[in-house]
């Protein structure tokens, strides 16, 4: 299937130069002169070699035909990431080297798409947006809004990104997993929780308490 260069994102498998390539990282660039392009870091599925390629925005590439299945992340054991199919309970493991820095964004029960070629898992694709916690960054600058003066910040997962100057340590943000870039700050969103029916009299009180705690702790991403 043909896709544009702008649609290339980490976790995809593309056909390029008579080989199959796992997309590790992308960066959309708009230079002062010339057309925009997508700088893509690739790793050969067959040979294991890496390649940095620049695709013009107007270019198209062939997305490889692979089997894709939904899995939930379980844990990392040494150099491998473990996932489970919640329908069949099938478990697979994928080396961290296949995922690039994306393995640092994996959280328990996070749903991902795993691509298989000839029955072998070869790549994972994360949700486009993920919530992260700012572990450390410089002090916020009062009355300053998001602008070109971004500052470095370290996420709780160990990834370093740039954020607007008003972001503080301890705040939650949304990042784009394709580019590992800041998207927006998390904000509490008031809402009403409705079960749609009453709570049965025989429901254990600890279940009700757990439900209330879960609702209170839940953060809704718009």
Domains of the chain, CATH where assigned: 2-63 (2.30.30.30), 67-125 (2.40.50.140), 129-185 (2.40.50.140)
Alpha carbons 151 and 145: distance in angstroms, whole number: 12
Q: pLDDT category, 30, cuts 50, 70, 90?
A: confident
pTM: 0.62
Instruction: Compute the CA torsion angle 14, 54, 180, 18 (nearest 10 deg).
Output: 20
Q: What is the DSSP letter of 197?
A: S
Alpha carbons 148 and 64: distance in angstroms, whole number: 37
Q: What is the pLDDT of residues 114-163, one digit of tens each?
A: 988 878 888 888 998 999 999 999 876 555 544 457 889 999 999 999 99
Please give the full DSSP string across 140-152, using - where no structure is assigned. PPTT--SSS--EE
End-to-end CA distance of the chain: 31
Q: What is the pLDDT of residues 92-118, one digit of tens each?
A: 999 888 877 889 999 999 999 998 887
**Helices and strands per DSSP (H, E), number in the chain:** 2, 16
């Amino acid at each position: 299937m043909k896709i544009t260069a702008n649609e290339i994102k980490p976790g995809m498998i593309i056909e390029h130069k008579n080989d199959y390539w796992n997309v590790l990282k992308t960066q959309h660039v708009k230079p002062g002169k010339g057309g925009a392009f997508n700088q893509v870091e690739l790793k050969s599925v067959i040979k294991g070699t890496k390649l940095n390629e620049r695709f013009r925005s107007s270019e198209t590439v062939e997305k490889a035909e692979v089997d894709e299945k939904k899995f939930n992340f379980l844990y990392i054991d040494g150099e491998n990431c473990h996932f489970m199919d919640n329908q069949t309970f099938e478990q697979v493991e994928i080396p961290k080297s296949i995922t690039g820095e994306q393995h640092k964004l994996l959280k328990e029960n996070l749903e991902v798409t795993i691509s298989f070629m000839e029955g072998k898992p070869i790549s994972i694709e994360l949700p486009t947006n993920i919530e992260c916690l700012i572990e450390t960054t410089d002090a916020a600058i009062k009355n300053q809004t998001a602008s070109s003066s971004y500052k470095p910040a370290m996420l709780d997962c160990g990834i370093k990104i740039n954020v607007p100057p008003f972001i503080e340590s301890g705040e939650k943000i949304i990042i784009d997993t394709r580019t590992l870039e800041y998207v927006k700050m998390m904000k509490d969103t008031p809402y009403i929780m409705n079960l749609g029916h009453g709570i049965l009299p025989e429901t254990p009180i600890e279940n009700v308490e757990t439900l209330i705690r879960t609702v209170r702790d839940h953060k809704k991403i718009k």
